[in-house]
Structure 1
Amino acid sequence: MKWLIVLLVILQNTLADRVLVLGETAAIKDTHSVYLNSITARGHELTIRAADDANLALFKHGELIFEHLIVLAPGVQVFGGSLSSSEISKFVDAGGNVLVAAGSNIGDAIRELAVENGFEFDAPGTAVIDHHNYDTSLDSGDHTTLVINKNQLINAQLIVGDASKLKPVLFRGIGLVAGRQNRLALSIIKGTTTSYSFDPKAQRVTNPVIAGTRTLLVGGLQARNNARIVFTGSADLFSNAFFGAKVNSANPSVQDKNAQSGNAALADAITKWVLKENGVIRVKKVNHHLVGETQPPPQEYTITDDVVYTIEIEELKNGKWVPFQGKDVQLEFVRIDPFVRTVLQNKNGVLTANFKLPDVYGVFKFLVDYRRVGYTHLYDVQQMSVRPLWHTQYERFIRSAYPYYASSFSMMIGLVLFSIVYLYHKEDRTTGVATKKSEDKKKQ
């Protein structure tokens, strides 16, 4: 019995997602303990190391050692071991997920990693400043301890949770921007119109590089292989101090005074999305057949056939696969260009569509290409040939050919009438010739 328990424990640890957490020092276990314990409580296996540890590695014998990477080391200049910005990019290409938290003391390692993934942090020593939305009790006078409101969050519940229930969030750190060529960038938390990034110790502010809503406090992206990356300018956002702090915004429009901060809820929501606990969907089963049949897909269809297409989609929620309830999944019937595009009807995760095939033959595809913010990219293709009708399948009488039928019958009727008339005139001509010969004989 004891051996069975040990075996189950080993199996559970093997199946758990492995997360590498990098901090500047071992003190991260104390300053961010609540955040790290919440990740462990959800079944992840954490390995906490210093960012400059000489034994750091993400691959071993070409295989991933960890599924996820969390960097809480804003000031690291060079990663230890085999880690580098290019190595982490390879990690992302292999399907790994990354969460990076920076700060005003940002080092070169974090800046290079951000540039490698289409983001750019402001210069070291700068911070996001907002003279209208700062915390009156926690701020040191430079207005860099900001209070984030609901309208600054991205409209995606899968990433930031339920914004309507979220309390004001505290932020203190550096700003970043998304590159113009980064089409996959997500503005998870934006600055307000009165925010800007500059050195808070400067005597005079002149032409800040980042200002207004262009300023990103938290940015992210989902790569084309569904790997997820999040960059935030504040490591304090995940700290115990901000988790337990009371928020007092200088903005009079904020109603929640001396309320518990929403940092814990927001950090959990963002981390769940990065670690793929939320927003993961997959195809369970696909089938298509003629209307009235339940057999597997035929070898080919005929033009204008009535077809039923069915796809079953599942969503990962709380560690279990449940039926996907989305109502906006579309099906395309494609031959170079879509000939049919229709919305699938969802009944508890079973999505169906009934439609008539076009009067065009060739090689077609049943295509489902579902892209929504927060969800993994769902792509499924089923190829099928569509042939023309056999000669025995055509209609005997085609309505559009009725004029031609009429002309054919009219020609036949005309031929009969012409034949009758012609024969009748031939008899008169013979009679007339015979009479003329008899008259000539009498004259002789």
Structure 2
Amino acid sequence: MSWLLPVALAVLASSCFADRVLVLTENLGIRDTHSIYLGSIKDRGHQVLVRTADDASLALFKHGELIYEHLIILAPGVQAFGGSLSPKEISKFVDAGGNVLVAGSSKIGEAIRDLAVENGFEFDESNTAVIDHFNFDSSLDTGDHTTIVVGKDQLINAQLIVGDTTKIRPVLFKGVALIKDPSNHLALDIVTAASTSYSHVPGQIAENVAVAGKKTLLVAGLQARNNARIVFTGSVDMFSDAYFNAFATSANPARTAERGVATGNAALVSAITQWVLKENGVLRVKNVEHHRVGESQPPPREYTIMEDVEYAIEIEELKNGKWVPFLGKDVQLEFVRIDPFVRTTLQNKNGRLSSQFKIPDVYGVYKFSVDYRRVGYTHLLDVRQMSVRPLWHTQYERFIRSAYPYYASSFSMMAGVVLFSIAFLYHKDSAKVSVEAAKKKH
């Protein structure tokens, strides 16, 4: 039985380091209606705790530390969160590095609306829905054209967030519209509505429509400056087992290929969730080194102007729970004093990115800076400071070619002084000679 102890310790260790996910719902029946979605999160190794959104014991922090790494809210109609939860508390959770996924519906509650406003988005009014009279599902729609079919051309061009768009099938959406604040520069339009869609109360004559066309967002998100990720969607139904197992039948005659095919809800929702839970798109720096070209020793205390330097950085990417070499070929290095003096693209060889360059002929305090920002990836920033000194007096060349005119002027002046001295010392004054000759006559 001695083998039980190592196994128990291994299980305990894996449970301790697994990401903890808190799922908030309006009622616990969602564990049945959204079982495939919740099961997929568990299958990927997360600890999932499902609780009602109005539970009086809810909390995100304990003794100043995060209780959960991720928060998923599938409670669109909640008017107020229970316990210590509130939109401001959830924003504090994001500031501490937590990730949030929020799903709404046409029965949107004030708590969800306030949370969206806190993060630069806004859900449309309650009881409204996204309506599209051209791209609705002819088999599942109840006649108000609110069950719409989303094509792959409406997805953001970011494979890390939505998956491979060439393989994603039509997606079913039924819910409320989402609008982004124009000042929200971090916003990502993950899924946009078609140009023929608009937001209004179903069954009523549409007058003075405020939200219409491609400005209507179905799924939106952002990555905060601390790399925390937030996603809002107007449809909790797109996460349901019914939509996962359904077949899309677009009423649009121009989309005959989207009729009678299995929906791509499972693939799209899984890709978005993996991005929110930081299962992909995460970068880290493994090692950084720089030295003079031809040397392999650790970085020197300082460099000298005009020296040839080699810089190398190893970057890893998280894929399928493992850190693998990052294969991106668009990472740039800047050698910065106040402004960049050198900017060069690093050559990638199996995750080791390197480059050689000559230090500018300007001394000062410089930084090796790699600032990598791409949609879908975490912000990667690595800065190494290094001093650059001028040449020692013994390091200058004996004769500098650019100084030849000055050398010539110096030697010409010395030659002139010599000639003048000779003329002054050895040339007799003619006036003095004539005076002496006159004295002799008398």
TM-score range, shorter chain: over 0.9
2:289 aligns with: 287
Question: Which residue, 32, 35, 38 being the options, matches 1:33?
Answer: 35
1:101 aligns with 2:103: yes
The residue type paired with residue 182 of structure 1 is: N
Please give the residue correspondences for 1:335-414 in structure 2 after superposition, counting only pairs within 5 Å: 335-414=337-416
Measure, in 2, the Cα distance between the counterparts of 1:205 and 1:295.
72
Shift of 1:256: 3.0
| Superposed CA offset, 1:70-118 (max 9, x none) | 1111111111111111111111111110000000001111101111111
Amino acid at match of 2:150: I
Q: Distance in 2 between matches of 1:236 and 1:336?
A: 52
One-letter amino acid of the counterpart of residue 368, structure 2: F
Aligned residue in 1 for 2:12: 10
Q: Name the residue aligned to 1:253.
A: 254
What does residue 326 of structure 1 align with?
A: 328
Q: How far 1:28 sits from its partner (Å)?
A: 0.5
CA–CA separation in structure 1 for the residues paired with 2:224 and 2:283:
15
Q: Give the distance between the partners of 1:252 and 1:416, measured in 2 at CA.
A: 103
**How much has 1:429 moved relative to structure 2?**
7.7
Kindly state the Cα deviation for residue 280 of structure 1 after the two structures are TM-superposed: 0.1
Q: Name the aligned partner's letter for residue 242 of structure 1.
A: Y
Cα distance, 1:421 vs structure 2: 4.1
Q: Structure 2: which amino acid aligns with 1:50?
A: T
In the alignment, does 2:143 pair up with 1:141? Answer: yes
3-state DSSP class of the match of 1:363? strand
Is 2:191 the partner of 1:205?
Answer: no
What is the root-mean-square deviation in Å for CA atoms of aligned residues? 1.6
Inter-partner Cα distance in structure 2 for 1:14 and 1:422: 100
TM-score by length of 1: 0.96
Matches within 5 A, 1:33-182: 33-182=35-184
Q: Distance in 1 between matches of 2:297 and 2:110?
A: 61
> Which one of 264, 271, 275 corresponds to residue 273 of structure 1?
275
Q: CA deviation at 1:365?
A: 1.0
Give the Cα separation in 2 of the matches to 1:62 and 1:93.
13
CA distance in 2, matches of 1:334, 1:36: 48
Q: Percent identity?
A: 69
Q: CA deviation at 1:394?
A: 1.7
Q: Which runs of 5+ in 1 are unaligned?
A: none
**How far has the Cα of 1:339 moved from its partner?**
1.4
Cα distance, 1:433 vs. partner?
Answer: 6.8
Amino acid at match of 2:226: N
SS in 2 for 1:284: strand
Q: Equivalents in 2 of 1:72, 1:266: separation in Å?
A: 17
Unpaired segments ≥5 residues, structure 2 = none
Per-residue CA shift, 1:268-312, capped at 9, x if unaligned?
Answer: 100000000010000111111111111111111111221111111
CA distance in 1, matches of 2:10, 2:415: 92
**More moved, 216-225 vs 299-308:** 299-308
Match of 2:428 in 1: 426
Equivalent residue letter for 1:68: H
| Matched residues, number | 439
What amino acid maps onto 1:262 in structure 2? Answer: G
Aligned with 1:304: secondary structure? coil
User: What is aligned with 1:235?
Assistant: 236
Matches of 2:115 and 2:429 in 1, distance apart? Answer: 109
- SS, match of residue 415 in structure 2: helix
Q: Normalising to structure 2: TM-score of the pair?
A: 0.96
Deviation of 1:390 (Å): 1.4
Structure 1 residue 224: Cα displacement: 0.7
- Which moves more between the two structures, 411-420 or 277-286? 411-420
Deviation at 1:60, TM superposition (A): 1.3
Q: Which runs of 4+ in 1 moved over 2 A?
A: 412-438
1:360 shift after superposition: 1.4
The Cα offsets for residues 24-53 of structure 1, whole Å up to 9 and x where unpaired, read as: 111101100011111111101110111111
Deviates more, 1:91-100 or 1:248-257: 248-257
